[in-house]
Structure 1
Amino acid sequence: MAEHLLEVRDLSVEFHTAAGTVKAVQNVSWHLDRGETLAILGESGSGKSVSASAVMNLIDMPPGRITSGRVLLNGRDMLAMTAEERRRINGARIAMIFQDPLAHLNPVYTVGWQIAEMVTTHGGAARDAQARALELLGRVGIPDPQAAMGRYPHQFSGGQRQRLMIAMALAMKPDILIADEPTTALDVTVQAQVLALLEELQQETGMGLLLITHDLGVVAEIADRVVVMNNGQIVETGLAAEVYRNPQHPYTRKLIDAAPGKGQMPQARDRSGAPLLRAENLHKHYGAFHALKGVGLTIMPGETVAVVGESGSGKSTLARAILRLDDPDSGSILYRGQDLMTMTPRQIFGLRRDLQMVFQDPTQSLNPRMTVFQLISEAWVIHRDILPKAQWKARVAELLVKVGLRPEHAARYPHQFSGGQRQRIAIARALAMEPKLIVCDEAVSALDVSIQAQVIALLDGLRREFGLSYLFIAHDLPVVRDFADRVIVMKSGQIVDEGPVREIFEAPGHPYTRALLAASLDPDPEVQAARRQARASQEERIPA
């Protein structure tokens, strides 16, 4: 049998913690060949990133420890190499791009210097390194590469920062590129561009691509083979299309069933009667930047209105303006007929209990020094008329059960929960105020597909039980399709399309809406293959 480019054999990794030993990876084996894309698919905690970190020698030891296995690069065991030998391989022969590029780009150095450093670190001349950095910036699609050389990471968008990470990883023309959740937080159009770029670069260089992901759509778009991991073990492996069409393991079936965008779309609601909230002609400037340009929307009682668009479209600015967390420059916001723009701070304070927000990252929005009980009951400390103190403990327990947690979780701290559980705590915290409207700002975008499905089902159940309304900010169109009643599409601070969810998805009226839908990924590899073929045919018909 021919030698594989990279092969992992019987790899086991464990971490020693105060609570005991965690077996993160258990007897895992897989291989990657030149020119191939292998996806390791699984939820948070499945061990997929730990196994990739072992390849790159990035596991902190202690508390981590590789207890068994071999990692073979062209037949040589990297686990038996010296630290000096590993340093010569990392970056030069095996490179890695990470989920959050801002956390892995140095904020005090220009991006040109950081890319060039990859070359000089591996023995290249400074002049050659600068030329290589400039070439790579152009290759990955950064506008005006010469000017970009002197800029800093914070001066680029999220999608551009991911392109910078790709440029840095490709500096030494590696044989293997490991991409760890490279598109999770990106808009659908930017995600499509990044995946197309990776595929194009792979075809040019023949490198093997190892893709770590929880997104079935990404697997369908780019992967040749897939390895499915759960609880540190491989439960299924095979060609991507075969695994999707005929999954053999219950966990794989669970992931496929949880993929959004396949259920029944909500029926159009009766919108007669008085609206719960109406915003009209909202404008917002940040210096010379015009973030909102005459935007308006209406939310009826019990209705979910989704706002979609790329980063910078103004959707989060709109959400903050409606809650008066960031006052618009002009316009009106009527809540049950009362104009929030003319209210005093004391009057706004009284309305906070009706209007709540759930943020994208619960790790940032939950105070790490407070227990779950303190986080949820804080609302009653501030608004003393909601609930007598003697009933706080019982109500916290009730809310935790309502969001799918247990009463005993009240004594724990946020870091003791998974991402999906923390988001449930944030929802329970919002419910403590007994609100009428909850604004969800990308509240499920970073969650695993099955956890995302659970949170969406939870929000929908709470809507039915309590008559809640939602303003749902999102860039994940399949989730919007399953959950929203109406969709508002924003671009460059303006609303370009609006209508019932079925109308937007089946007969989009604006070219930008059609572009967003075309860039959205389907979990079915055969559907994605047909879409790629259609895109290629369309590009061939467009004259040069």
Structure 2
Amino acid sequence: MAEHLLEVRDLSVRFHTTQGIVNAVNGISWHLDRGETLAILGESGSGKSVSASAIMNLIDMPPGEITSGQILFDGTDLLKASEEERRRLNGKRISMIFQDPLGHLNPVYPVGWQIAETAMAHGQSKAAAYERALKLMERVGIPNAKASMHKYPHQFSGGQRQRLMIAMALVLKPDILIADEPTTALDVTVQAEVLSLLEELQDETGMGLLLITHDLGVVAEAADRAVVMEGGRIVETGTPRDLYHNPQHPYTRKLLAAAPGRGEMRTAQSGGQPILEVHGLRKSYGELAALKGVDFDLIAGETLAVVGESGSGKSTIARLMLRLEEASGGTVKWKGEDILAKSPREMGKLRRQLQMVFQDPTQSLNPNMSVYEIISEAWVIHPDILPKPKWRARVGELLEQVGLKAEHALRYPHQFSGGQRQRIAIARALALEPDLIICDEAVSALDVSVQAQVIALLGDLRDRLGIAFIFIAHDLPVVRDFADRVLVMKQGEIVEQGPVRQIFDAPREHYTRRLLAAGLDADPDIQADRRRARAALETA
């Protein structure tokens, strides 16, 4: 018998690019035992996903190249196995679930067929494969599983799609499950449910779980041990408690320092004339009521956070306010004038005061335009803001204001990291000198240190320029650090609202307490308390 279920020894991976050789993984070694959860923790570019791809034989070669090492599974070196041997192992004994389930589920086939296909590819009969698929869909909590087998991926929520990916990975009862950022874009309650489900399935099957993440809270909640990676190297290994209470490497200490939810909570502003007044805002899609009469206001320079699960209506509020969709009823008064009653021409003029930063800058920035063109486009639409001879200098000022360099104006979006692209999106919003910026999950997919930098940037802009923010988020620790007031939404209604300190320290509603208990904290001791609180709330 092999000493470990999976052992990586001295693995090095490099990529040949037009800019030269990139050493993505540099001589890393770690192991995973049966029934154990090992987290590989690190930010974008640390090499954590590349090492997992090497295990699954998913690295394109070329441009990739494995220059050294062994990957021992049950004592057999996977790097020396034939393609036929790898096909027999992948899916059957080693499975993987990915960060973006919509990108990895085939949009043109029903989900039941996709789950069953894995079993059929490894020799099971169609009847047995479909029976196994149905049992797994029931096991991972897909509602009305028999009917859902005939639905397509777009007909499920993000959390349900992640559950379907888990079902697909578990069809053949693998010995190892690799989960690559499985909860990054999920709501806090769904995130907690997915991690709990993985733990339950692990207890049932005894599989080893390799959890790839940049989230310290996920490590505290789910991992037995963690490997910390920076720049393709392992800088530290230990239990979550060791890493949190006694970090040895500066990079680990940097990650912990950047973890949200540690700062002083802001004191909500009092008095002041509201610049935004929302009354009775409603939105229906046929018989579905997405918003059921929402009331709130906002004063200048204030940050109002809107939290709630998927489908609660928080993003719908933003779309209705900006007239990206038409409301079914209610009023949205901006500085005393009803936005919902304005003509398209009047709305065009008003948009310069109301800007939005979206969750995914890759999709919201035109890949065919340079950064200079992206930012200066605002002045093409609103030429009265700035004369053209001053555009180049102002673009440089805006880039420096968000922590980039003036010379970055000549580059294109694909030449930047995710955090840098989000800074460009913020610079574009600032180009119109708005009074209000709506951030719709603007930091949810960023690494913890980049997230901290962007939040600090937004706070600085708020304090210096007096910009108000509506901050739509599912990441409660970030909300705790950044917001003045919080709206808690559930199924199209506001169930609780108040100053951030009151919502976090003394929530009145059961739903709010459940959201807070589902949040993840980098401290394993706090996380253990939250796990107990979740269990108590579920039985209450």
Gaps of 5+ in 2: none
AA of the residue aligned to 2:505: E
| Paired residues of 2:2 and 2:74 also in contact (CA < 8 A) | no
Task: List aligned pairs for 1:50-449, cutoff 5 A.
Answer: 50-270=50-270, 272-449=271-448
Aligned-partner Cα distance in 2 for 1:347–1:533:
53
SS at the partner of 2:26?
A: strand
Aligned-partner Cα distance in 1 for 2:247–2:257:
11
What is the CA-CA distance between 1:522 and the residue it aligns to? 1.1
Aligned-partner Cα distance in 2 for 1:91–1:280:
53
What is the CA-CA distance between 1:38 and the residue it aligns to? 0.2
SS at the partner of 1:117?
A: helix
CA gap of 1:131–1:75, structure 2 versus 1, over 3 A, is: same
Aligned-partner Cα distance in 1 for 2:240–2:32:
14
Aligned-partner Cα distance in 2 for 1:346–1:398:
30
**Any idea what the Cα deviations from partners look like across 1:425-454, whole Å, max 9, x if unmatched?**
000000000000000000000001110000
What is the CA-CA distance between 1:261 and the residue it aligns to? 0.6
What is the CA-CA distance between 1:532 and the residue it aligns to? 2.6
Aligned-partner Cα distance in 1 for 2:108–2:225:
39
Aligned-partner Cα distance in 2 for 1:333–1:530:
41
AA of the residue aligned to 2:484: D
Q: Between Structure 1 and Structure 2, how many residues are aligned? A: 540
- What value does the CA root-mean-square deviation take over the aligned residues? 1.1
Aligned-partner Cα distance in 1 for 2:414–2:38:
32
Partner of 1:4: 4
What is the CA-CA distance between 1:352 and the residue it aligns to? 1.0
Aligned-partner Cα distance in 2 for 1:11–1:416:
28
Task: List aligned pairs for 1:500-539, cutoff 5 A.
Answer: 500-536=499-535
Aligned-partner Cα distance in 2 for 1:169–1:341:
47
CA gap of 1:180–1:85, structure 2 versus 1, over 3 A, is: same
SS at the partner of 2:186?
A: coil
Partner of 2:475: 476
Partner of 1:28: 28
Aligned-partner Cα distance in 2 for 1:71–1:273:
63
Aligned-partner Cα distance in 1 for 2:337–2:159:
40
**Any idea what the Cα deviations from partners look like across 1:474-501, whole Å, max 9, x if unmatched?**
0110000000000001111111100000
What is the CA-CA distance between 1:339 and the residue it aligns to? 1.3
What is the CA-CA distance between 1:268 and the residue it aligns to? 2.1
Aligned-partner Cα distance in 2 for 1:533–1:3:
35
Aligned-partner Cα distance in 2 for 1:370–1:287:
38
AA of the residue aligned to 1:463: R
CA gap of 1:537–1:484, structure 2 versus 1, over 3 A, is: closer
AA of the residue aligned to 1:451: V
CA gap of 1:538–1:336, structure 2 versus 1, over 3 A, is: closer
What is the CA-CA distance between 1:62 and the residue it aligns to? 1.1
| Paired residues of 2:9 and 2:30 also in contact (CA < 8 A) | yes
AA of the residue aligned to 1:340: I
| Paired residues of 2:55 and 2:71 also in contact (CA < 8 A) | yes
SS at the partner of 1:294?
A: strand
In the superposition, the TM-score normalised over structure 1's length comes to 0.98
AA of the residue aligned to 2:204: E
What is the CA-CA distance between 1:286 and the residue it aligns to? 1.3
What is the CA-CA distance between 1:376 and the residue it aligns to? 0.5
Aligned-partner Cα distance in 2 for 1:58–1:4:
22
AA of the residue aligned to 2:38: L
What is the CA-CA distance between 1:537 and the residue it aligns to? 6.1
SS at the partner of 2:522?
A: coil
Aligned-partner Cα distance in 1 for 2:187–2:354:
27
| Paired residues of 2:517 and 2:534 also in contact (CA < 8 A) | no
Aligned-partner Cα distance in 2 for 1:287–1:20:
55
**Any idea what the Cα deviations from partners look like across 1:23-54, whole Å, max 9, x if unmatched?**
11110111000000000000011100000000
Aligned-partner Cα distance in 2 for 1:537–1:509:
16
Partner of 1:494: 493
SS at the partner of 1:302?
A: coil
CA gap of 1:385–1:350, structure 2 versus 1, over 3 A, is: same
**Any idea what the Cα deviations from partners look like across 1:397-436, whole Å, max 9, x if unmatched?**
1000000001110000000000000000000000000000
**Any idea what the Cα deviations from partners look like across 1:79-135, whole Å, max 9, x if unmatched?**
001000000000000000000101101111111111111111011111110110111
**Any idea what the Cα deviations from partners look like across 1:289-321, whole Å, max 9, x if unmatched?**
111110121010000000000111000000111
What is the CA-CA distance between 1:56 and the residue it aligns to? 0.3
**Any idea what the Cα deviations from partners look like across 1:195-249, whole Å, max 9, x if unmatched?**
0000000011100000000000000000000000011111111111101111001
What is the CA-CA distance between 1:536 and the residue it aligns to? 4.6
Aligned-partner Cα distance in 1 for 2:144–2:317:
31
Aligned-partner Cα distance in 2 for 1:533–1:470:
34
AA of the residue aligned to 1:343: K
2:41 aligned with 1:44:
no
Partner of 1:466: 465
What is the CA-CA distance between 1:531 and the residue it aligns to? 2.8
SS at the partner of 2:142?
A: coil
Name whichever of 454-463 and 320-329 sits farther off.
Answer: 320-329
Aligned-partner Cα distance in 2 for 1:537–1:408:
55
AA of the residue aligned to 2:259: A
What is the CA-CA distance between 1:538 and the residue it aligns to? 6.5
Percent identity at matched positions? 70
AA of the residue aligned to 2:109: Y
Aligned-partner Cα distance in 2 for 1:163–1:481:
29
Aligned-partner Cα distance in 1 for 2:106–2:347:
41
SS at the partner of 2:352?
A: coil
AA of the residue aligned to 1:359: F
AA of the residue aligned to 1:21: I
Partner of 2:456: 457
Aligned-partner Cα distance in 1 for 2:269–2:513:
24
What is the CA-CA distance between 1:509 and the residue it aligns to? 1.3
CA gap of 1:538–1:422, structure 2 versus 1, over 3 A, is: closer
SS at the partner of 1:276?
A: strand
What is the CA-CA distance between 1:346 and the residue it aligns to? 1.5
Aligned-partner Cα distance in 1 for 2:272–2:527:
42
